[in-house]
């Protein structure tokens, strides 16, 4: 009984991650595709920050694997970056939670650049990626969207009383 | 830390060997709902525009199609007699008989994949007999090959992907070469000597070497040849015949000689 009370609202976490995966696969016009925000990574960062006991490195790793299959990349190419992002967020979650939204957005952008760089580096090393991809465009758009996403997910968390 | 090691292990296994293709295929069934949901609005829009098309437009289209059908049929009559003649001549020459190729129509699913790569998702999978390395054509030429197969859907690599290469032949001279993708909608033809007879406008067709692609399909048209006497090889750029970005339907081809063991993506892909 106690166990049931402690874990509540898991559907909200699952739903938000699922929607993030949908957004990651959504077709976009060519000019906008390079600006596509890192939806999955952002939602993962949010839940790591808000619910460090429930969402963590393994969630990030599994999510990365699903993303790899969804996008037809090398298995593990996203997992490694996402588990690192989760690891960093777990380490910083106390500080991140209380910092102003702008500062949060900056930290998120930095983590996303790291994530994309790792992804790109693996792509180039295995010869599957031309070296010209712009890594900082998605990080920039994600940074601009972070405050809104944060507020949205916070409301979702309160409404679903995720614990 | 364990995750990082596990990721690295998976990547090595996936890049060098084919052991993890089973995991990928299983997970692909898991991600199918996502693909389906993303594809739904696009498919719905197409359905709507087809349903709401005006009568006059349908009539006009019908007329045009009927005319085209007539033309194709008349051309096909000639083709039938030619293929008979070809078979007789081949029998005289005692050379191997070409068996007809089996094809299957597949629809593209709307989904954006890795940025910087040239891949598409098809709505046919291992349930329909699709296998990794299977060639893909449209009505204008070769499009690429299947890369990963799931139960209900599969991922295909286009000709223009940086990791893709196809053995080709210049139609005019019979010169053989390899056309590799550049990642930007064009192909580059590698390792052709400076002195070779190849020029702008030459049609490249698949040579059938390697046994992965059937021979004789149009692949690309040479758009630029630059010869630098200081270098051993000419720099050649070609544009694919197939409309890679516009296609909605593609044809999956089962070539007459299927390689007896398909070790995924070692023949068609650049070995590094």
Tens digit of each residue's pLDDT (9 = 90 or more) over A66-125 = 998 888 888 888 899 999 999 999 999 899 889 999 999 999 999 999 998 888 888 888
pLDDT at site A109: 93
Q: In this complex, which of A73, A126, A130 lies closest to B183 when CB atoms are compared?
A: A130
Nearest chain A Cα to B183, which residue?
A130
Among A14, A61, A18, residue whose Cα is nearest residue B31: A18
pLDDT at site B262: 42
Q: Are B219 and B206 a contacting pair, CB within 8 Å?
A: yes
pLDDT at site B100: 58
Answer yes or no: do A130 and B272 touch at CB < 8 A: no
pLDDT at site A39: 93
Chain B within 8 Å of A57 (Cβ-Cβ)? yes
Answer yes or no: do B15 and A126 touch at CB < 8 A: yes
Between CA B161 and CA A129 the distance in angstroms is 9
Tell me the sheet residues that pair with B204.
Answer: B170, B220
The backbone torsions φ and ψ at residue B175, rounded to the nearest 5 degrees and listed phi first, read: -65, 130
Q: In this complex, which of B23, B116, B162 lies closest to A75 when CB atoms are compared?
A: B23
Q: What domains can you pick out in chain B, each with its CATH number?
A: 1-52+98-272 (2.40.10.340)
pLDDT at site B272: 35
The backbone torsions φ and ψ at residue B185, rounded to the nearest 5 degrees and listed phi first, read: 80, 5
CA B17, B166, B130, B246 dihedral sign is: positive
Chain B within 8 Å of A14 (Cβ-Cβ)? no
| In the predicted structure, residue A2 carries a pLDDT above the cut 50 | no
Among B178, B154, B158, B166, residue whose Cα is nearest residue B116: B158
Longest alpha-carbon distance in chain A? 54
- Chain A residues touching B146 at Cβ < 8 A: none
Name the token pair of B218.
């149009």
pLDDT at site B14: 78
- Chain A residues touching B120 at Cβ < 8 A: none
Between CA B61 and CA B67 the distance in angstroms is 10
Lowest mean pLDDT among A16-25, A138-147, B44-53, B251-260: B251-260
pLDDT by 10-residue block (mean), chain B, 272 residues? 79 76 83 86 84 85 93 86 81 61 83 77 89 89 90 89 90 91 87 88 89 87 89 90 84 67 41 36
- Chain B residues touching A127 at Cβ < 8 A: 162-163, 270, 272
Does ipTM surpass 0.90 in this model? no
pLDDT at site B95: 59
- Chain B residues touching A24 at Cβ < 8 A: 112
Question: At A131, is the pLDDT very low, low, confident or very high (cuts 50, 70, 90)?
Answer: low
Determine what percent of chain A is predicted with pLDDT higher than 70. Answer: 92
Domain ranges, ordered by start, for chain A: 2-23+38-159
Residue B102 class from Cβ within 10 Å (0-12 exposed, 13-18 middle, 19+ buried)? exposed
DSSP annotation string for chain B: -HHHHHHHHHHHHHHH-STTHHHHHHHHHHHHHHHHHHHHHHHHHHHHHHHT--HHHHHHHHHHHHHHHHHHHHHHHHHHHHHHHHHHHHHHHTPPPPPPPEEEEEEEEP---STT--EEEES--GGGT--TT-EEE-SSSEEEEEEEE-SS-EEEEETTSTTBEEEEEETTT--EEEEEE-SSS-EEEES-BTTS---TTPEEEE--GGGSSPTT-EEEEEEEEE--TTSSB-EEEEEESS-TTT-SEEEEEE-SS--SS--TTSSSBPP-
Most A CBs within 10 Å, among B115, B149, B244, B272, to test the A interface: B115
Which parts of chain A fold into alpha helices (H)?
Answer: 2-6, 10-25, 30-33, 39-50, 57-71, 77-98, 101-125, 136-159
């Amino acid at each position: 009984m106690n166990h049931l009370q402690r874990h509540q609202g898991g559907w909200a976490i699952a739903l938000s991650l699922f929607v993030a995966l949908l957004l990651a696969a959504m077709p976009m016009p060519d000019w906008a595709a390079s600006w596509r925000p890192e939806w999955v990574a952002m939602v993962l960062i949010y839940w790591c920050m808000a619910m460090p006991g429930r969402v963590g490195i393994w969630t990030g790793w599994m999510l990365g694997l699903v993303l790899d299959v969804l996008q037809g990349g090398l298995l593990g190419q996203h997992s490694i970056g996402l588990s690192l992002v989760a690891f960093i967020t777990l380490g910083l979650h106390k500080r991140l939670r209380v910092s102003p939204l702008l500062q949060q957005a900056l930290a998120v952008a930095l983590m996303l650049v790291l994530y994309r760089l790792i992804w790109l580096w693996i792509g180039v090393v295995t010869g599957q990626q031309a070296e010209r991809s712009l890594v900082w465009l998605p990080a920039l758009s994600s940074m601009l969207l972070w405050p809104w996403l944060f507020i949205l997910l916070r409301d979702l968390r309160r409404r679903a009383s995720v614990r | 830390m364990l995750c990082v090691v596990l990721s690295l292990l998976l990547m090595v296994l996936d890049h060098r060997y084919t052991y993890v293709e089973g995991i990928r295929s299983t997970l692909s069934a898991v991600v199918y709902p996502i693909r389906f949901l993303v594809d739904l609005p696009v498919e719905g829009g197409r359905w709507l525009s087809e349903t709401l098309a005006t009568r006059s437009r349908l009539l006009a289209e019908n007329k045009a199609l009927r005319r085209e059908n007539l033309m194709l049929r008349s051309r096909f009559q000639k083709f039938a007699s030619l293929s008979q003649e070809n078979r007789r001549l081949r029998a005289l020459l005692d050379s191997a008989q070409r068996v007809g190729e089996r094809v299957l129509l597949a629809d593209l699913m709307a989904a954006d994949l890795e940025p910087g790569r040239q891949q598409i998702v098809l709505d046919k999978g291992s349930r329909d007999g699709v296998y990794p390395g299977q060639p893909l054509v449209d009505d204008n030429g070769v499009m690429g090959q299947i890369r990963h197969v799931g139960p209900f859907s599969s991922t295909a690599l286009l000709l223009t992907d940086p990791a893709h290469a196809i053995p080709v032949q210049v139609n005019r001279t019979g010169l053989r070469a390899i056309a590799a993708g550049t990642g930007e909608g064009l192909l580059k033809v590698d390792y052709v000597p400076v002195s070779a007879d190849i020029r702008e406008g030459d049609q490249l067709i698949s040579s059938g070497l390697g046994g992965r692609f059937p021979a004789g399909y149009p692949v690309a048209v040479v758009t630029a040849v630059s010869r630098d006497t200081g270098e051993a090889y000419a720099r050649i750029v070609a544009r694919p015949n197939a409309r890679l970005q516009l296609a909605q339907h593609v044809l999956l081809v089962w070539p007459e000689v299927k390689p007896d063991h398909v070790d995924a993506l070692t023949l068609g892909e650049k070995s590094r």
